[in-house]
A and B are shown apart, each in its own frame.
Chain A
């Protein structure tokens, strides 16, 4: 059997080479770009980034959006996944409808919410029809930062809950029904069954969903761009502006390196905090 030990490595090699060339190489190049300027190695790009007018806002906005949206999405997805597990007929239809936001692009989702939230959009038309508003009321301007934040958070939650839902539904299907039935026999209430049986067995799925969702949340861009424009700076948006408008690739690379660092730290935290010893897996 040992002569065949190299077979797995050979089979994995194409994917590794593909990843290496199209992912690792540009990553290394970006990092190199961020620590160099015309005269060689220097931290000028990072200094420029940290001292920029919008840096503090971008950092704060990105973290705030992640801190608000991700827990809301986890809770929402858990509720939705539990409901899906209980539905008999029509389960596939419900799941399909709930997963539709996954199929549309970020920017399309942002534009859909823009048509709802802008000053002559559907929300204002509805509120005006109900008599709650006098006329077009702006929600997305820099004079209404709270409404802008809530609007963006809502759009993000609507758009990205589907991915968490899909992971949790798959995780729930792996939990054998016997555990829940045994708990019911022993007199556990539905809430106790959920918190003592389902949730712990779902921990690996929650860990995957959290890592994926948090990393993507730190990279939020298209929805914010569509709804907020310049009014709500976020990290990737600033990288885009530095690359596209200011034509300074070095500072854009510095932003990219910062986002990567934040994502890596968050992933490490999740892996540590939510680790599941082998014995506890279903």
Chain B
């Protein structure tokens, strides 16, 4: 101990600090930046389980979605790129597509036999002729309910084929008989409420998203929303992830992204049931969520990135991912019988959603560039004015339709499913 002078300790510390930087400089390494699977547990699973057997040594880096564009733009402007492979949601890759993502038509060709659905591959082109991302995993939004809520279900209602009226009656029965509002929506600052309006409420009531924004049927949609809100927990405007209030018993019926419900399902799989979102007069709208893998333009290791994309597209890897997270395969892969119970619950609800007779697919917005956030803002502002501030529905729809028109005209984005196609910017009727 007496030999350890301060100087030698300092030298040892400097050597320790220098060692990782020396390790990073090895050839063949790949930096994989992802906005998905960010929480510590999920990122650890990615690093320890999924990426451990990858063909190239991969450094898995996570970041918040809003930093993705900033980082890619900064790297491009500085001319010094560190990130080769990017994993993010469709909407997060959209602002990057034109300038910061490499075309991937060669990669898509080599993966042609994996069975990735054509409509997902087309999504990955962002309305252009070139593939910008390869679909990586998919999820959707489902509903989950605690078993103790089931006794309040209206007579004759099939939980796997509810209508919005029945859902409202269910929540209303709970409110009347227990004096508590137990329906929950993810209307918090980080919640995905905008997707509920775009992918579920609007398609189910109006059959469209943009074209029918201020249609007469939209008035019916918002009236239904107001009725449901009266039976919903007022703390919904603070809920970002519905798994927390669901697990705490604050909320008995919840709507959210399947990955944001999984923790509650994992904690007590026997206490919960999962089921598809309700149907309106025009069908059962639902929105598939696609995460994709893109390669940064000018990537330091494009070949490595391509091989990791191929690895992540293998059925075995995708099934592993499904078992660990809430995201399901995009390639052709049979779900094994020994899935963890929580994942089995989620998979059942997803299958029921996708296979419903009256299912109406509402795609993620295409062609909005970096105006995706402002597009969501139109729907959230409409919600705030109609439901929270109790303004006149017709007045608000007309006013917000102007804001929506501004966004659509500024981006020139054509209509996407469920709206009928258009040439030029999608019109707001």
Q: A53-B381, A230-B189, A247-B66 are in contact. Are A120 and B250 (CB under 8 A)?
A: yes
Q: Which residue of chain B has its CB nearest to the CB of A114?
A: B238
B374 touches A247 (CB 8 A): yes
Given A119-B235, A141-B237, 19 more pairs with CB closer than 8 A: A119-B250, A120-B248, A138-B235, A141-B234, A142-B237, A143-B234, A225-B189, A230-B189, A241-B189, A244-B66, A245-B189, A245-B373, A246-B373, A246-B377, A247-B66, A247-B69, A247-B372, A247-B373, A248-B373
**Would you call A153 an interface residue if the criterion is a C-beta within 8 Å of the partner chain's C-beta atoms?**
no
How far is it, in angstroms, between the C-alpha of A58 and the C-alpha of B236 when the chains are bound?
Answer: 20
How far is it, in angstroms, between the C-alpha of A235 and the C-alpha of B362 when the chains are bound?
Answer: 35
Q: Which residue of chain B has its CB nearest to the CB of A246?
A: B373
Q: Which residue of chain B has its CB nearest to the CB of A244?
A: B66
A230 touches B187 (CB 8 A): yes
Shortest C-beta distance, A102 to chain B (Å), equals: 27
**Would you call B419 an interface residue if the criterion is a C-beta within 8 Å of the partner chain's C-beta atoms?**
no
Interface range for B: 20 to 34
Tell me which of B66, B95, B248, B381 has the highest count of chain A C-beta atoms within 10 A of its own C-beta.
B66
**Chain A interface residue count, Cβ-Cβ cutoff 8 angstroms:** 22
Residues of B within 8 A of A247 (CB): 66, 69, 95, 370-374
**Would you call B128 an interface residue if the criterion is a C-beta within 8 Å of the partner chain's C-beta atoms?**
no
How far is it, in angstroms, between the C-alpha of A246 and the C-alpha of B250 when the chains are bound?
Answer: 30
Q: Which residue of chain B has its CB nearest to the CB of A135?
A: B180
**Would you call A171 an interface residue if the criterion is a C-beta within 8 Å of the partner chain's C-beta atoms?**
no
Residues B369-400 near A (CB distance < 8 A): 370-374, 376-377, 381, 384-385, 388
Shortest C-beta distance, A260 to chain B (Å), equals: 22
B235 touches A141 (CB 8 A): yes
Q: Which residue of chain B has its CB nearest to the CB of A231?
A: B237
A229 touches B189 (CB 8 A): yes
- A selection of 30 A-B contacts at a CB cut-off of 8 Å is A53-B384, A53-B385, A118-B235, A119-B235, A135-B180, A136-B250, A138-B235, A140-B235, A140-B238, A141-B237, A142-B234, A142-B237, A143-B234, A229-B188, A230-B187, A230-B188, A230-B238, A230-B384, A231-B237, A231-B238, A241-B189, A245-B373, A246-B373, A246-B376, A246-B377, A247-B95, A247-B371, A247-B374, A248-B373, A248-B374
**Would you call A267 an interface residue if the criterion is a C-beta within 8 Å of the partner chain's C-beta atoms?**
no
How far is it, in angstroms, between the C-alpha of A85 and the C-alpha of B403 when the chains are bound?
Answer: 59
Residues of A within 8 A of B381 (CB): 53
Contact indicator per residue, chain B 27-67, by CB within 8 Å of chain A (1) or not (0): 00000000000000000000000000000000000000010
Shortest C-beta distance, B340 to chain A (Å), equals: 29
Q: A120-B248, A229-B189, A248-B373 are in contact. Are A243 and B238 (CB under 8 A)?
A: no
Shortest C-beta distance, A45 to chain B (Å), equals: 13
Tell me which of B69, B187, B374 has the highest count of chain A C-beta atoms within 10 A of its own C-beta.
B374
Shortest C-beta distance, A207 to chain B (Å), equals: 36
Query: 8 closest Cβ contacts across the A-B interface?
Result: A141-B234, A246-B373, A247-B373, A244-B66, A229-B238, A143-B234, A229-B189, A53-B381
Shortest C-beta distance, A36 to chain B (Å), equals: 16
Contact indicator per residue, chain B 252-295, by CB within 8 Å of chain A (1) or not (0): 00000000000000000000000000000000000000000000
How far is it, in angstroms, between the C-alpha of A98 and the C-alpha of B115 when the chains are bound?
Answer: 64
Contact indicator per residue, chain B 64-104, by CB within 8 Å of chain A (1) or not (0): 00100100000000000000000000000001000000000
Q: Which residue of chain A has its CB nearest to the CB of B399?
A: A53
The one of A120, A136, A243, A246 that contacts B374, using a Cβ cutoff of 8 Å:
A246
Residues of A within 8 A of B95 (CB): 247
A245 touches B238 (CB 8 A): no
Residues of A within 8 A of B370 (CB): 247
Residues of B within 8 A of A246 (CB): 373-374, 376-377
Residues of B within 8 A of A135 (CB): 180
Residues of B within 8 A of A118 (CB): 235
Tell me which of A138, A243, A247 has the highest count of chain B C-beta atoms within 10 A of its own C-beta.
A247
Residues of B within 8 A of A248 (CB): 373-374
How far is it, in angstroms, between the C-alpha of A245 and the C-alpha of B373 when the chains are bound?
Answer: 5
Shortest C-beta distance, A26 to chain B (Å), equals: 14
How far is it, in angstroms, between the C-alpha of A1 and the C-alpha of B254 when the chains are bound?
Answer: 78
How far is it, in angstroms, between the C-alpha of A230 and the C-alpha of B377 when the chains are bound?
Answer: 13
Shortest C-beta distance, B55 to chain A (Å), equals: 35
Shortest C-beta distance, A61 to chain B (Å), equals: 15
Residues of A within 8 A of B377 (CB): 245-246
Contact indicator per residue, chain B 10-33, by CB within 8 Å of chain A (1) or not (0): 000000000000000000000000
Shortest C-beta distance, A53 to chain B (Å), equals: 5
Residues A170-212 near B (CB distance < 8 A): none
How far is it, in angstroms, between the C-alpha of A143 and the C-alpha of B95 when the chains are bound?
Answer: 37
Residues B360-374 near A (CB distance < 8 A): 370-374
Q: Which residue of chain A has its CB nearest to the CB of B372?
A: A247
Residues of A within 8 A of B250 (CB): 119-120, 136
Contact indicator per residue, chain B 164-199, by CB within 8 Å of chain A (1) or not (0): 000000000000000010000001110000000000
Q: Which residue of chain B has its CB nearest to the CB of A51?
A: B403
How far is it, in angstroms, between the C-alpha of A141 and the C-alpha of B388 when the chains are bound?
Answer: 11
Residues A92-142 near B (CB distance < 8 A): 118-120, 135-136, 138, 140-142
How far is it, in angstroms, between the C-alpha of A143 and the C-alpha of B390 when the chains are bound?
Answer: 12
Residues of A within 8 A of B235 (CB): 118-119, 138, 140-141
Q: Which residue of chain A has its CB nearest to the CB of B66?
A: A244
Shortest C-beta distance, A73 to chain B (Å), equals: 26
How far is it, in angstroms, between the C-alpha of A246 and the C-alpha of B373 when the chains are bound?
Answer: 4
How far is it, in angstroms, between the C-alpha of A142 and the C-alpha of B236 when the chains are bound?
Answer: 10
Contact indicator per residue, chain A 230-255, by CB within 8 Å of chain B (1) or not (0): 11000000000101111110000000
